[in-house]
Structure 1
C-alpha cells in the first residue's frame, strides 16, 4: 500500500489568499528539451486574508531562482518548499516577485502544464496544470491580467499564440522570432494558455450585435484544414446564439480555436484561445459521423459560452466547479436544441417537427445522464454537484458536476421560467463580472431577480444521490377529481454513508405533469386549493412544487379517469417509480403529447421484458418473449407522421448498463443474452417490415450530404433498421450491409454498416474491417473508431482486446486511442469485460499499472470503471476485489488514482 497518507481537502476550510496578484508578465524560450520560463508578478496583501505568508504552488517544476523586489532568495533561509507549496514567510505588503523555472516539454507525458505533441507546444492548466509551468499562487480566486512573450524557432514553430490580443511580433537573431500577447481581462491561472508550432489556419470574421468586427481563427495541422469548416460554422452560430438568447457579446478582438490530438479533455476554454482535442473540432462527411458533427457543434458552443460563464465570472475554489460547468452544459444543451429546432423548422416549416427535434436531443441527454451520472450516484465516488471534500480535484470532473449540474440549472429555469431566469443571469453578471464566486452567489442572483424562494432548492447542491419518486393516483368519478400522491426518498451514498454524515432532507423537485383523456388528448389542468405554494401553467402541463417527503395534489374538473403523464420533459433528475400497466404504457406511446414521455414509455416496456428475460437467463431457464414489442415496433415503423430521428429513439431498447442498474446483483452475461434474444425476437417477427423499410430509406435519389437534423435522423434510422434486419438472420440483409459499406459516400453510412456487421455477423465483417483500416490508416480519429467498434462488439473478449492492444497503431500515450480500446471494451461491452474467468479485470489492472506512470489523470478515470465492483455476482466480486487490491499495492501510485481505488475499496 502507499506509505504516504492522502490529504483530504475540505470546502469548509476555505481561506482567502494572503496576497492578490494584479499583473503577470511571462516570457517563454521554447525548446522541447529545455524551456526556460521567466515569470514576474506583482502582489499586494489581501485585507480579507487570515494568513500573512505568500504561498506559491509548483509540481514537477524545477526552480532556477526566485527573487522578491530584486532580492534573490535562498531556500531554507528565505523560503521553504514542502510538497507542492513554496512558502515565503516574511513579505512586504506589496512586492514584485520574479521566478525562473526550467521545463522539459518533450518528457511531459501527463499532458498537463506545458507539453510537446507532434512537434508542437501546448498547455493544459485546468485544474492545477499552471503549477507545472512556474511557481505561482495557482488557485482560481487569484485573478490577474497577463502579458506573455513567446520566443521560438521561426521555421519549426511559425505560429505563436497566447490569450487575448496580439500586440507585437517580429524576428529575432538565430532564426528565431517572438510574439507578445496581452489579455485585457483578469483571469485565474487555470485559464492561461499558449500554443506554438507549425499549424494551418482557417480565418473568418463576424460583426457582433454592437457592430464590432471580430477575427475568428481555427488552427489545425495542414492536412486537417478541410475538416475545420464545421467548427468555424459552429463558432459563428455560438456567438450569434449567445447574443440573441442571453445578450452576451464576444469581448476580445479575436477568438481562436486550436486542435491537438494528444489532449486529456474534450476541450478547454482558455480565455480567447480554446484548445481542443481533435475529436471535438474536426468534422468532414468522409471521416466523421453525424454524431461527431453534433458533438463538435456542442463542444465548440460549450467552450465559447464559457467566455462568460466560467471566464468573466469564475469559481472561487474548485468545490464550486459546477458553477461554471453545470451552467455551461445547460447553455450548450439549449444551444444544440435551438439549432436543431431552427434547422427543422426551416426545412419543414412544421412547429411540431421542430419540437420533436428538441425532444430527440433531450432524450439523448437524459440517456447519457442515466448511463453515467445515475451510475456514479450509486457508487463509492458519489458526491453532490458541489462536493464537500476531495483528495485530488482531477477526480471531480465528473458526470455529477457536469450533467447533473446542468439538470440543477435546468430545474431553476423550469421553476423561474425563461423571463425570470434571464433576469437572474443579468443580475449574476452585473454583480460578479470579473470575480471568482460561489454556487450560492448564483442561486442568490436567481432568487433576488425572480422573487422565487430557492432556500430548499439549494439542497441539490449539498446532497448526493438520485432521489426516487413514487407516484400513485386515484380518480373520484363522482367528484370529477384526480389526486396524485408523490413520495420522495434518497438513500445515503458515497461519503454520506460514513459515520457522522447528516441525515438527508427532502429536495425541492419541479415535477411536470399532464393528464391524458380516454380520447388520447391532454386535459386542461386545474389544481385544487393551495396544495402547492407556487405553480407554473404551461397549457396542459403543470409544474408542481414537490417539497415534502409526501405530498398530494388534487386536480378538479376532470371529466374522465385520466392517464397521468408524469415528469414530463424529465423535469428533474430523479428515478420515477410508477406502477403503470402495459396497456397504459402502450397508450402513452401512441398518444402522449410530451415526446420525451412517449419514448420513456417505450423504454419502460422494453425494460420490463429485459429484466424478466435476464432473470431467466441467469437461472438457466429457456427464454420466451411476447408480441407486445414487435406489434408496437411495427406500428412505429409504419407511422409516417413520426420524424425519422424520433422513430430511432422509440425503437431503441434500453442499453445493457441501464439494465444492470435495475438489478441488485449484476450478471452482465445474462443481461447480454436477454437483450440479444429480445432483439432477435423482434427482428424475426418483423423481418419483412424491416426489409421493406430499409429499402425505402436507402433507396431513391442520392442526396448531397448534410449534417442537418432531418438528414441525420434519416441516416440514423436507416442504420438502426439495417441492424435489426441483420439480427433477423436474413441473408439479404448481409448483402445490403455489404453494399451500404461499399457504396457509402459518408462515414455515418459506412461505419453504420460496418458496425452492424462486426457486431452481428462477424464472419462477414472480416474483409470490410480490413478494408476500413487500409482506407483510413493515416487518419487517427477514424482508426480510433476502428478500435472502438471491435472492442465493443458482442463477440469480443479480453483475449481479443489484448491482441488489439499489441497492434502497431495502439498506444497508451494518446488518450483518444486508449479510450477507444480500453473504455470501449469496459463500458460498451460489459459481458466481455465481466467475463467469468476474471480476464477483464486482469487486463484492467495491467493497463492501470502502465498508464498511471504515463498519464495519472486518464488512469484515475480508468480506475473508476471498477468502482461498482460490490454490485457484481459473488464469484466475480472476489476477482474484482483482488484486482483492485493489486492496484492499491502498486508502488508510487499517483494521487488521483489512489483516491479512486481507496474509495472503491472502503466505501
Structure 2
C-alpha cells in the first residue's frame, strides 16, 4: 500500500531501456538573439533531416520548449499556423515531418527566470545555463545530448547596457550601429556539440586576458570576465587554467582545440560551474580569490573546479553522452581526471617524503567525500547506480554517486591496468569516439580492449548497474604451527529487491611485518570476482608470539565498506607501521569511530587510549608532512559517524553523537595538551603570518597550526589562551587564519567572540563570499559551547529576515539553510520548530528554484534511520512537503524518501 501523499507524484518516468536514437539530425544551427532584460527575441534556423529512413517515410517532429512565447514558425520558408502543429507547455510538434528547414521565433523574459535555467538575469547581466534541459527554455529544439550540431550565433544588444556579448567558439564579426546604440557580435563554434553546451553572456563586465602557446605551437587567447570591482580576484583562476592546460597536454596528450577560451564569473548560479564549449560559466565562489576573502580551501577548490571544467573539453564536449543516463561517463571520468591533476600539482617539485604525503592527502580528501556524502546516499532511499535506470527529473541525479563514486569506478580501471594501460585505453577511447555521443560501455570497452582483457567486461559493468555500497566481510586466521595465514573475503550488498551478482573488486594488499616471516614485502593486487574467496599464504618462517599483519585495500583500492574486526592494539600497530599513508590514516579513523560509538565503557576506553597513543606518535613523526598530520588529527564528521551507527543496526541519535564526540575529543585534548602546545609552538614559528603563500607545504603548516588551536580550544580556556586566540583573529593577515581563529572563539564562546563577529561583519559585509563564511561559521559552530542560551534556530530565523538574505542567490541560501539542514546535526534536530522551518523554506524555494529546493530536501535522506522522535517529526515534514510542493524536482525526492521499501 502506498502513502496517500505519494499518489500525487505521477510525473512521467523516463527509462534507460526505452532509449531510441532520434529519427532526425540537425547539423547546423543559426541563432539570432536580440537581448533585452524583459523581452529577449530568439530566431532559430536549422535544417532537420531524417536519418536511416526510406524515401517517403515521415515521423512526428517533437521540439522541446518551456516557458516560451511562440511568435511564428516557418517550414521551408513558409509560415505554418496552429492547425499544422500541436503546442503544449512542454513541446511543439509538427506531425508527419519528412525533413526541411525550421525557422522559429520566440520571446522570453529573463528577468522573471528565477529557476536559473535557460537565459536568466543576474546582477551584472544575462547568462545561460543549459545543462541538462535548459536550452528548451531559450528556443524550440530537439533538446537531447545525442543531437550534435555546429552553431553560429548572432547577438544584438544595447551596448550601454550590455557591452560584452559572448557565445561559444570564435568571434568572427563585430559591428556597432551608432544611430540605435546596438552592438552586434557573431560567434561561430567549429565543433559539433549538443545544445546543453550552448552558452550566451550579455553583461557589463571587465576582462583579464593572456595569450599562451599550446603544444602544437598555436596561439590561444585566455579570457576571464567578471565585474570590474572583482577583476583583480581572477589571477589565481587564470594561473590554474594554464596549469590545467599544460597538465592535459603533458600527461594525456590532449590539447586545447580552440583559438579562444573564456571563463565568466556569475553571481547567481545553481551549481559550481558549467563546461560550455569554449565559454565556461562559473559560480563566483569558484573563481574569485584573494587572501582577504578566500581560505586555503577556497584556493584549492578553485584550482580543482577550473581543472574539472577544462578537462570536460575532451571528456564531455568532444565526446559527449548519448543520453542523460550516461551522465557518469563524462562526470565520473572528469572527476577522476581532476583528482589526478590536483594530485600531480600538489606533489610537483617536492621532496620524496613531502610528495608522498601530498599525494596521500589528496587521496584521503577524495575518500572523505565518498564516505561522508556518497556512502550515506547509498544507504538511503535515494540510492541509485552510477548509471540510473530511470528518472523523472534529471536534475536530481547530479549526485555524489554519479560524480565521486563514478570517479572511483574509473580509478579501479586505473588500479587494475596501471598508468600505461589506462592511457592506452584513453587513447583508444578518444580516437574511436571523438565527435560523437558515447555510452559507458564504450569507455569500459576501450580500456579493456586496449589491454586485451575483454573477459572482464560483464563483471566490471555491474558497477554501473548496482546501487548501494558493497560490503566486504573479512575473516583472518593464523596457524603458527603450520605457518599458514588465510584471509577470506565475502561480498555483501543488500540494496535492491534482487540478489546482486558479485562485483569485480580490486584489492591492494601487503604484509606489514613480512620480513620477520621471510616473505616478499612488495605490494600485491588481487581481483576479487567471486561472492566468497579465500587467499592462503604459507610462510617460510615464523617468529614466536607474533602473527602476520596484513594491510588491505591500500590507497582505498575499491569504494567498498570494509567489515573487519581488529583490536585497538592492531589498529594502533597499523597507525604506527603501515607505509601506505591512506591505511595509516584509516586506522586512526577506525579508532575515532569505535571510541565514538562503542557501547561498552571499557572497550571505549581501550579505543580512546590506543588513539591517543597513536596521535602522540603522529605529532613526533618527522617522515610525514604537516598536512598529513592535520588529517590524522581530524576526527570523522557526524555524517560518517551516523552512517557507521546505521551499519551496526543502530539509530542515529544527534544528541548522543554530539555529547559522546565532544567528551572523547576533550579527553584526548587533555591527555595530549602538552604535546599539542609543543607542536603548535613549533609549527607557528615555521609559519610566518605576514607572508601568505598557497603552496602545499605552506597550506599544510597552516592546517596543522589551526587544527591544534581548535583541539586546545575545546578545553576550559585560560585567560591567556583566550587572549592568544583573540590576537590570532584580530592580527591575522589572511582569511584562512581569520576563519580558524573565529571557529576557536565560537567554541570558547565569550564576549571576545561577539566582538570578533561584529568586526568580521563590519569589515566584510560588502563582500558576498566573505559574508557567506560569516553566516556559515555561526550556524555550524554555535551550539557546541554556546553562551547566553543562543539557539542556532534563532540565528537562522534572524538571518532569513536580514536584507542580505537573497533567495535568488543559491550561495546565500546554501550558507543559511544548507548549513543548518546539513552541518549542525544536533542543533537542527533538537528543536521541533526546525522541522517547521524546513518545510516552510523549501516550499518557498520550490516556487521559483525547484532544483535548489530539491537539493535541500535531500537533507532528510536518512530520516528512516533516526531515533523515533526525530523520525516521526521528519516523516510529518516530508508528508507536508509532498502534499504542497509543486515541482517534479521536489516531488520526485519526497516520493522516493517516502517509499515503503
TM-score (norm 1): 0.94
Q: 1:528 aligns to what?
A: none
Distance 1:771 1:175 in 2: 46
**Following TM superposition, by how much is the alpha carbon of 1:716 offset from its aligned partner in structure 2, in angstroms?**
0.6
Of 790, 798, 801, 1:803 maps to 798
Distance 1:33 1:105, change over 3 A: same
Answer whether contact 2:592 2:608 (CA < 8 A) is retained: no
Q: Deviations over 1:564-618 (max 9, x none)?
A: 10110000000001111111111111110100000000000111110026x889x
Answer whether contact 1:143 1:189 (CA < 8 A) is retained: yes
Distance 1:625 1:91 in 2: 72
Distance 1:542 1:734, change over 3 A: same
Of 484, 489, 511, 2:487 maps to 484
- Is 101-110 or 728-737 further displaced after alignment? 728-737
Distance 1:299 1:82 in 2: 38
Q: 2:713 aligns to what?
A: 726
Of 689, 694, 715, 1:707 maps to 694
Distance 1:692 1:420 in 2: 47
- 1:52-91 to structure 2, matched below 5 A, reads 52-75=59-82, 77-91=83-97
1:212 aligns with 2:232: no
Q: Deviations over 1:642-685 (max 9, x none)?
A: 21000001111111111111122110111000111111111122
Count of matched residue pairs: 873
**Following TM superposition, by how much is the alpha carbon of 1:90 offset from its aligned partner in structure 2, in angstroms?**
2.5
1:10 aligns with 2:5: no
Distance 2:302 2:91 in 1: 38
5+ residue gaps, structure 1, are 526-538
- Is 636-645 or 838-847 further displaced after alignment? 636-645
Secondary structure of the corresponding residue to residue 37 of structure 1 = strand
Q: 2:729 aligns to what?
A: 741
Q: 2:505 aligns to what?
A: 509
1:884 aligns with 2:878: yes
Answer whether contact 2:353 2:625 (CA < 8 A) is retained: no
- 1:741-780 to structure 2, matched below 5 A, reads 741-761=729-749, 763-780=751-768
Q: 2:840 aligns to what?
A: 846
Of 512, 524, 527, 1:542 maps to 524
Distance 2:519 2:278 in 1: 49
Of 664, 676, 684, 1:690 maps to 676
Q: 1:573 aligns to what?
A: 559
Answer whether contact 2:113 2:121 (CA < 8 A) is retained: yes
Q: 2:704 aligns to what?
A: 717
Q: 1:649 aligns to what?
A: 631
Answer whether contact 1:515 1:523 (CA < 8 A) is retained: no
Distance 1:449 1:390 in 2: 33
Distance 2:199 2:689 in 1: 45
Q: Deviations over 1:108-142 (max 9, x none)?
A: 11110000101401000000000000010000000
- 1:321-332 to structure 2, matched below 5 A, reads 321-332=327-338
Distance 1:48 1:760, change over 3 A: farther
Q: Deviations over 1:690-731 (max 9, x none)?
A: 223222222355562111110000001111000111112232
Distance 2:849 2:304 in 1: 26
**Following TM superposition, by how much is the alpha carbon of 1:444 offset from its aligned partner in structure 2, in angstroms?**
1.1
1:874 aligns with 2:865: no
Secondary structure of the corresponding residue to residue 140 of structure 1 = coil
Distance 1:554 1:455 in 2: 27
Q: 1:285 aligns to what?
A: 291
Secondary structure of the corresponding residue to residue 884 of structure 2 = coil
Q: Deviations over 1:207-231 (max 9, x none)?
A: 1111111111111111111110110
Q: 1:436 aligns to what?
A: 437
Q: 2:271 aligns to what?
A: 265
Answer whether contact 2:595 2:605 (CA < 8 A) is retained: no
Distance 1:750 1:357, change over 3 A: same
- 1:516-595 to structure 2, matched below 5 A, reads 516-517=512-513, 525=520, 540-557=522-539, 559-560=541-542, 561-595=547-581
Of 163, 170, 182, 1:165 maps to 170
Q: 1:118 aligns to what?
A: 123
Distance 1:72 1:315, change over 3 A: same
Distance 1:902 1:877 in 2: 16
Q: 1:369 aligns to what?
A: 370
**Following TM superposition, by how much is the alpha carbon of 1:189 offset from its aligned partner in structure 2, in angstroms?**
0.3
Distance 1:66 1:4, change over 3 A: farther
Distance 1:48 1:332 in 2: 42
Secondary structure of the corresponding residue to residue 56 of structure 1 = strand
1:659 aligns with 2:641: yes
**How well do the aligned residues superpose, as a CA RMSD in angstroms?**
2.0
Distance 1:687 1:523 in 2: 41
Q: 1:820 aligns to what?
A: 815
Distance 2:501 2:610 in 1: 40
- 1:134-213 to structure 2, matched below 5 A, reads 134-172=139-177, 173-213=179-219
Distance 2:480 2:486 in 1: 11
**Following TM superposition, by how much is the alpha carbon of 1:473 offset from its aligned partner in structure 2, in angstroms?**
2.0
**Following TM superposition, by how much is the alpha carbon of 1:622 offset from its aligned partner in structure 2, in angstroms?**
12
Distance 1:342 1:446 in 2: 27
- Is 826-835 or 690-699 further displaced after alignment? 690-699
Q: Deviations over 1:524-551 (max 9, x none)?
A: 54xxxxxxxxxxxxx7211111011100
Q: 2:896 aligns to what?
A: 903
**Following TM superposition, by how much is the alpha carbon of 1:429 offset from its aligned partner in structure 2, in angstroms?**
1.2
Distance 2:374 2:460 in 1: 20
**Following TM superposition, by how much is the alpha carbon of 1:885 offset from its aligned partner in structure 2, in angstroms?**
0.7
**Following TM superposition, by how much is the alpha carbon of 1:783 offset from its aligned partner in structure 2, in angstroms?**
0.5
**Following TM superposition, by how much is the alpha carbon of 1:266 offset from its aligned partner in structure 2, in angstroms?**
0.1
Secondary structure of the corresponding residue to residue 155 of structure 2 = strand
Distance 2:615 2:517 in 1: 24
Distance 2:380 2:344 in 1: 34
**Following TM superposition, by how much is the alpha carbon of 1:523 offset from its aligned partner in structure 2, in angstroms?**
7.6
Answer whether contact 1:515 1:522 (CA < 8 A) is retained: no
Q: 2:138 aligns to what?
A: 133
**Following TM superposition, by how much is the alpha carbon of 1:887 offset from its aligned partner in structure 2, in angstroms?**
0.7
- Is 126-135 or 453-462 further displaced after alignment? 453-462
Q: 2:662 aligns to what?
A: 676
Secondary structure of the corresponding residue to residue 20 of structure 1 = strand
Q: 2:239 aligns to what?
A: 233
**Following TM superposition, by how much is the alpha carbon of 1:391 offset from its aligned partner in structure 2, in angstroms?**
0.5
Q: 2:788 aligns to what?
A: none
1:467 aligns with 2:470: yes
Distance 2:59 2:45 in 1: 20
5+ residue gaps, structure 2, are 784-790
**Following TM superposition, by how much is the alpha carbon of 1:479 offset from its aligned partner in structure 2, in angstroms?**
4.6
Distance 1:4 1:54 in 2: 28
Q: Deviations over 1:726-781 (max 9, x none)?
A: 11223232222111111111110111101221134354311101100111111101
Answer whether contact 1:517 1:523 (CA < 8 A) is retained: no
Distance 1:623 1:513, change over 3 A: closer
Answer whether contact 1:340 1:357 (CA < 8 A) is retained: yes
Answer whether contact 1:468 1:576 (CA < 8 A) is retained: yes
Distance 1:164 1:611, change over 3 A: same
